[in-house]
Amino acid sequence: MRILIIDDDTELCQLVADYLKPMGFEVEMEHEGHCGADRATSEDWAAIILDVMMPGCDGFEVLRRIREKSRVPVLMLTGRVEEVDRIVGLELGADDYLPKTFSSRELLARLRAVLRRSGWVSETTPQAPIKEMIVGELRINPETHAVVLGDEALQLTPAEFGLLLSLARAHGRVKTREQLIEEVADREWDVFDRAIDMHISSLRKKLGDDPREPRFIRTVRGYGYQLVIPGR
């Protein structure tokens, strides 16, 4: 899912990109308003994260140019607290507003919310079919939620499937508990920090996995979990 960040604060852009990429987003950045507006309207994006305060062409002007050609969801960032700025942005067509004191989790929650509300789908890029993921002996189908280990179909709960899919999509990268919570928080089950460990434990039992000598899920102490990729 492609996201464009338009903000002259390069450090903030990189921090946001580093946070969103493990969540399944493909993040690209522009640091100047005119170039940002051009890319926003000439390429397909799932959403735009747009700063209000930029030199030259500010966020309001960029938003005007975007709305002349596109209904792509736009989440605006602002370092100012005046109500009039939020009103102007919303009237120009912003989907949501977030002050620059935001937490990473709030940014992700608001981004997901605007994506759900908009139902935006690229009209020019065909949607690729969801492919089965293969990790060693495991076969995971994101569309049907089917998981097969060798020749045996596993019966996983929604929580267990969500965690396994999140780890598989990380392609061997370590996922923190917070990242796992963020990725599965939209599902219809309650989750909190220690519940992740319980769900992982249950998932391991169904996989026949020994946490002391893991074939599938490795614990990275003090950090989180990692799916073992054969050959790595």
pLDDT band at 185 (very low <50, low <70, confident <90, very high): low
pLDDT at 145: 85
pLDDT in tens, 34-53: 999 999 999 999 999 999 88
* Residue 23 belongs to a domain: yes
Same domain, 56 and 138: no
Asked, for residue 173, whether it belongs to a domain, the answer is yes
Residues 84 and 142 in one domain: no
| pLDDT tier at 194, thresholds 50, 70, 90 | low
| Residues 143 and 113 reside in one and the same domain | no
Residue 126 lies in a domain: no
Confidence band of 216 (pLDDT split at 50, 70, 90): very high
**What DSSP assignment string belongs to the chain?**
-EEEEE-S-HHHHHHHHHHHGGGT-EEEEE-SHHHHHHHHHHS--SEEEEES--SSS-HHHHHHHHHHH----EEEEES---HHHHHHHHHHT-SEEEETT--HHHHHHHHHHHHHHH----SSSPPPPPPPEEETTEEEETTTTEEEETTEEE---HHHHHHHHHHHHTTT--EEHHHHHHHHTTSSS---HHHHHHHHHHHHHHHT--TTS-SSEEEETTTEEEEPPTT-
Instruction: Pick the closest to residue 35 from 16, 7, 70 (CA basis).
Output: 7
Residue 78 sits at φ, ψ, to 5 deg, of: -145, 140
- Is 168 inside any structural domain? yes
What pLDDT was estimated at residue 1?
83
Domain identity same for 198 and 156: yes
Q: Are residues 93 and 141 in the same domain?
A: no
CATH number at residue 15: 3.40.50.2300
Asked whether residue 94 is assigned to any structural domain, the reply reads yes
In a domain, 232, yes or no: no
Co-location of 167 and 76 in the same domain: no
The 10s digit of each residue's pLDDT in 108-164 is 888 888 887 765 443 333 444 456 788 888 999 888 889 999 989 999 887 788 889
| Residues 49-69 pLDDT 10s | 999 888 888 899 999 999 999
Structural domain count, the chain: 2
In terms of domains, do 88 and 61 share one? yes
Any domain includes 127: no
Contacts of 123 (CB under 8 A, 6+ apart): none
- Compute the mean pLDDT over every residue in the chain, rounded to the nearest whole number: 83
The domain that holds 202 is classified in CATH as: 1.10.10.10
Whether residue 113 lies inside any domain: the answer is yes
Q: What pLDDT does residue 131 have?
A: 66
Band (pLDDT 50/70/90 cuts) for residue 218 is very high
Q: Average pLDDT for residues 10-26, to the nearest whole number?
A: 88
Confidence (pTM): 0.53
Torsion angles phi and psi, residue 79, rounded to 5: -90, -5
Selected residue with higher pLDDT from 214 and 105: 214
The per-residue pLDDT for 109 is 85
Confidence of residue 209 (pLDDT cuts 50, 70, 90): very high
Which structural domain, as residue segments, surrounds residue 178? 133-227
